[in-house]
Amino acid sequence: MIWKNTFKMNISINLKSIFLLGSLILFLGWGSEVSAQCNSNNVTVTNFYFGDANGDPIASNDNNEIGDPVNGFIYADFGGSSGNGYSLYVEYDVFINDVFKETIILCLFDGQSIPSGTTSVIDEYQWNWGDKFELRNFYMNWNTTSNGACEKKDRNSQCYGNTDGFIVRTPLIANFDYTTNCEDFIVDFENLSTGGDNTAYTYSWSFDQVGSSNASDPSFNFNQGGQFQVSLQVNDGTSSSSITKSVLINDPIQVSVSKQNLACNEENTGSINITPSGGSGNYTYSWTGPNFSSTSQNISGLNEGSYEVTITDNSNNSCSITEVIILTKLETPETPVTSVSQQPTCEDTTGTISVTTDPDITYTLLDENQNPLTNSIANGTFTGLSDGTYFVQASNGDCEASSEALVIIENLGTPGQPQASISQQPTCENTTGTISVTTDPDITYTLLDENQNPLSNSIANGAFSGLSAGKYFVQASNGDCQTSSGVLEIIENLGTPGQPQASISQQPSCDDTTGTISVTTETGISYTLLDENQDPLNNSIANGEFSGLDAGTYFVQASNGDCEASSEALVIIKNLGTPDQPQASVSQQPTCEDTTGTISVTTEAGISYTLLDENQNPLSNSIADGEFSGLSDGTYFVVASNTDCEAVSEALVIIENLGGPGAPVVEVSQQPTCEDTTGTISVTTEAGISYTLLDENQNPLSNSIANGEFSGLTEGTYFVQASNGDCEASSEALVIIKNLGTPGQPQASVSQQPTCEDTTGTISVTTEQGISYTLLDENNNPLTNSIANGEFSGLSAGTYFVEASNTDCETVSEALVIIKNLGTPGAPVVEVSQQPTCDDTTGTISVTTEQGISYTLLDENQNPLSNSIANGEFSGLSAGTYFVEASNTDCETVSEALVIIENLGTPDQPQASVSQQPTCDHTTGTISVTTEAGISYTLLDENNNPLNNSIANGEFSGLTDGTYFVQASNTDCEASSEALVIIENLGGPGGPVVEVSQQPTCEDTTGTISVTTEQGISYTLLDENQNPLSNSIANGEFSGLSAGTYFVEASNTDCETVS
């Protein structure tokens, strides 16, 4: 029976109005929040599965293909801790293959009790074969009475939510997909199996007899291209499923290239030809180059440059290969790179021109009119050149290129030595000197240091001024040459010393009431201490310090013997001294009501007070009205400070107070039972705490605690009091519940034994109010039978007991025996276990026999036959309809009809022959068959395994070399032909991959043709008329070729191909 009303709402994502979608999102958001807080268990739902209208799970061996729609029902088991659930509201999201599909809202068992311990229909659904089926964001709520509305309720009880949801168990269905790789023969397999027990999957992969795997998602290297049959079998421990798919693996793409470069000064005469192989053969091409693009296979009319082609196999994962081909052209040599590397100098009045040379280029020096000179180039230079204009000409034997004009400049010679003198030495007021020079307007003058390195000082009015002490030279230059003066020395003047760097390194302290002034001293400088009027004092400096100074203002004077400089004013500050020890006392110790203490201090104006811990570390407590309050137990000190010095009080001790203990942690660990009518209260005890048992009025009882328990307690209300000697705390009330005792033994009898018409019995019970009755089996285990009107009815044969219970204790009746009645035997379980075959034209019927039952074979009119059963079988049966009758001496039962089907017999051996062997032009063969009506024909390989070739017009065509058989079948039996052999033909070899790898040059007037050779192929050079030449190939090359047109022929002994 299906308890479901018409309240059902499907919510799917489509183009509804914005308002409706927004409202739906708010509604679903509220549902998710409620479900996350709901975990009631008085109604539960588990074990979701997809079944047919009879409640049977859909079988994995049903005749369906992946993706076929299957109509059925979602079932689940309902249970729970009580039977008071009504009107079940259910809401969930349907996810197919991990993708949200729709939201379902249902009302189940409206106004009725939700069944417990049964399987019920949740909803009707159309599921596609092989899909993963989940119910996520599952939420349900229910009422505790039958008159409550079946609707969603905002509450945290009588409801259950599970955001992860449930997987709907579907039949185990094996499935997979795969991805091939472009670079190799490795295939990546992805397991897509669904259903069954997905936590117990085991996998068995078979890769067309070349390998296997037990992984979930294996990768396998087939090591070659071809068509492979891949099988996957999945097992979940109780069932299995398998699938076989054909996997096509193509060879990686390869390409051979031939090209035609450009001759000298040619334009648009280059070409490139490519020959791809591998893949599926469905190629597209994409060329790029200098101002060029194309989608053709071969390209021509090209200029020099780099060309890139991408070949894409559109029927093979879009695999591609990219090749870069460079076309070249003989060109005019580059303009020579030259420079005047040496102009004439004072010592050498000739110049040098340097050339960046190329070993294949000759270089000639030209005069200003570009007439050749006789000068020779050596080590990349033309040397010994007089002033003038020159050019350098480069030649590669065919063309020339000239450099820019190169000018050798005339050199002016060395100027006269400059006349210079020191016109001013440094003084105290001006510590720099001046050098004066007698100048010439055509000469530039540079000041040099003692190492004759140029300085940045400029000459003005014939003088270099502002010079520090040191040795100098003056250099005169006319642009080409230089000459220097004699040495000129500026003598050093000490000048005024720097202001002394002084600071007060120590102010007066509590321990030392004098200060110290520290000075950063310099060698050769003396230091004097001055008073506030800058009069000298007799204090001496030692180790850079004037020490033992009273409070006041000081200066430090530095002298180098000629001049003095004074520091900034330095102030030694007066120290206030150590204050009196603070007067402090503990004015309040902790009490039971206030567990903190107070320290009182007699304060003085101008003194600050700080509270210290037992290690005299400062605390953050502030003093208020002369008190530090709110202090925990411990040792304290008070420090008084006048900003310069501190004084500490005597130690002050705050004494610890225990305070009130925590409420005791207790529980009733044992309620009275039928065997022991007293209870026990357990206490989690703490060291230092005593425990007392109190009665319901919290008066103390004399019971003692032992091992944390008060035991032997009668029913009633109790408290437990904890005490630490100072204060007490009591537990919550603890109730020992009264036990009802053992009920009387139930009075029960067998009121009806089984008969032929009714094979069940009845047990009657004299019932009492307040007593519940349970039927037990022969081992006193409870059964699910319910008592109605004082009877347990519908009982099979066996021994029973009746148990009476008053919720506390139970008692059991005497044994009650229901006697077995044979009744009508079950319909015999039979099958046709062997239909007639080619070798045995009789059939066999198998019977699952039972002890005490006899079996008779009946004809199609249900008349008995004389055939005897042996080892559960009636054998040697001719074609026809049969029945099997079972008898237990009292009654009989007849099986369903069993049909032995006539067998057609073995067909004649098929007449087949090889009607066409492979040739050079057509490398496949054909097998012809003399066909007969009603007979089907299958092509078998050399191992008699079936192939997928189809027969057309009596022929199997397009066959590769190998051994074949033809099998004829009339649906019952088969017959195979003699072996038929297709002989291998090598066919035409691939077009040879060749290129002109060397054109004739000035040095070598012959050319070379390079061939990419293959094993088993011979190569012959042909002339322009494709007549063979006597040239032999060596190391893949025909060399020493004169100008002309050639072809290369490849041969595999059967066929030839020309480049």
Question: Both ends of the chain: CA-CA distance in Å?
Answer: 82
Average pLDDT over residues 513-535: 92
| Domain at 829-900, CATH from 3.40.50.300, 3.40.50.1240, 2.60.40.10, 1.10.230.10 | 2.60.40.10
SS3 22: helix
Convert 549-560 to b/e letters by CB count within 10 Å (16 or more is b): beeeebbbbbbb
Average pLDDT over residues 718-739: 87
- 337-408 shares the fold of 254-327: yes
Q: Is the pLDDT of residue 25 over 70?
A: no
Q: Is the pLDDT of residue 436 over 70?
A: yes
Q: What is the pLDDT of residue 1003?
A: 78
- CATH topology assigned to domain 176-249: Immunoglobulin-like (2.60.40)
Give the pLDDT confidence of 417-430 residue by residue, as tens digits: 888 788 788 776 78
Among 32-36, 305-309, 658-662, top mean pLDDT goes to 305-309
- The tokens for 250 are 């193509």
- Counting Cβ atoms within 10 Å, is residue 336 exposed (0-12), middle (13-18) or buried (19+)? buried
Give the pLDDT confidence of 168-185 residue by residue, as tens digits: 999 999 999 999 888 899
Average pLDDT over residues 933-943: 91
Phi-psi region of 428 (alpha: psi -120 to 50; beta: other; left: phi over 0): alpha
CATH class of the domain comprising 747-818: mainly beta
- The tokens for 783 are 């059964």
Give the pLDDT confidence of 863-911 residue by residue, as tens digits: 999 999 999 899 989 889 999 998 887 678 998 888 998 887 788 888 8
pLDDT band at 31 (very low <50, low <70, confident <90, very high): very low
- CATH topology assigned to domain 501-572: Immunoglobulin-like (2.60.40)
Decide: 529 and 537 in contact? Cβ < 8 Å: yes
Give the pLDDT confidence of 317-348 residue by residue, as tens digits: 788 889 999 988 777 778 888 898 788 887 77
Q: Is the pLDDT of residue 82 over 90?
A: no
SS3 979: coil
Q: Is the pLDDT of residue 509 over 90?
A: no
In 3D space, the residue among 129, 127, 43, 135 whose CA is nearest the CA of residue 92 turns out to be 135
**CB-hemisphere CA count at 13 Å for 932?**
12
Q: What is the pLDDT of residue 81?
A: 75
pLDDT band at 37 (very low <50, low <70, confident <90, very high): low
Average pLDDT over residues 16-21: 32
Q: What is the pLDDT of residue 292?
A: 92
Q: What is the pLDDT of residue 1054?
A: 75
Q: What is the pLDDT of residue 267?
A: 85
Q: Is the pLDDT of residue 26 over 50?
A: no
Q: Is the pLDDT of residue 33 over 50?
A: no
> What does the domain layout of the chain look like in residue ranges?
4-167, 176-249, 254-327, 337-408, 432-437+445-490, 501-572, 583-654, 665-736, 747-818, 829-900, 911-982, 993-1058
Backbone φ and ψ for 559, nearest 5 degrees, come out as -140, 140
Q: Is the pLDDT of residue 1015 over 50?
A: yes
Q: Is the pLDDT of residue 10 over 70?
A: no
Lowest-confidence segment of 155-169, 231-245, 534-548, 816-830 by average pLDDT: 816-830
Q: Which CATH superfamily is domain 583-654 in?
A: Immunoglobulins (2.60.40.10)
Q: Is the pLDDT of residue 984 over 50?
A: yes
Average pLDDT over residues 948-952: 90
Average pLDDT over residues 129-152: 91
In 3D space, the residue among 32, 3, 25, 315 whose CA is nearest the CA of residue 165 turns out to be 32
pLDDT band at 482 (very low <50, low <70, confident <90, very high): confident
- CATH topology assigned to domain 254-327: Immunoglobulin-like (2.60.40)
Q: Is the pLDDT of residue 18 over 70?
A: no
Strand partners, 233: 204, 242
Give the pLDDT confidence of 353-389 residue by residue, as tens digits: 999 999 989 999 999 999 999 999 999 999 989 889 9
Q: Is the pLDDT of residue 493 over 80?
A: no
How far apart (Å, rounded) are the C-alpha atoms in residues 1029 and 1018?
A: 14
Residue with more model confidence, 623 or 1004: 623
Q: Is the pLDDT of residue 23 over 90?
A: no
Q: What is the pLDDT of residue 34?
A: 40
| Domain at 911-982, CATH from 3.40.50.300, 3.40.50.1390, 2.60.40.10, 3.40.50.10490 | 2.60.40.10
CATH class of the domain comprising 665-736: mainly beta
CATH of domain 337-408: 2.60.40.10
How far apart (Å, rounded) are the C-alpha atoms in residues 394 and 361?
A: 6
Q: How many CB atoms lie within 10 A of CB 363?
A: 19
Residue with more model confidence, 819 or 726: 819
Q: Is the pLDDT of residue 291 over 50?
A: yes
Average pLDDT over residues 954-977: 88
pLDDT band at 50 (very low <50, low <70, confident <90, very high): very high
Residue with more model confidence, 795 or 591: 795
> What is the share, in percent, of the chain residues with pLDDT greater than 70?
95
Q: Is the pLDDT of residue 279 over 90?
A: no
pLDDT band at 49 (very low <50, low <70, confident <90, very high): very high
How far apart (Å, rounded) are the C-alpha atoms in residues 678 and 672?
A: 5
Q: Is the pLDDT of residue 513 over 60?
A: yes
Q: Tell me which amino acid residue 911 is.
A: Q
Q: Is the pLDDT of residue 783 over 70?
A: yes
Mean pLDDT of the chain: 86
pLDDT band at 11 (very low <50, low <70, confident <90, very high): very low
Average pLDDT over residues 569-590: 84
- Counting Cβ atoms within 10 Å, is residue 413 exposed (0-12), middle (13-18) or buried (19+)? exposed
Strand partners, 313: 283, 319
How far apart (Å, rounded) are the C-alpha atoms in residues 610 and 955?
A: 114
Decide: 247 and 227 in contact? Cβ < 8 Å: yes
Q: Is the pLDDT of residue 790 over 50?
A: yes
Residues 6 or more apart whose CB falls under 8 angstroms from that of 662 comprise 686, 722, 729
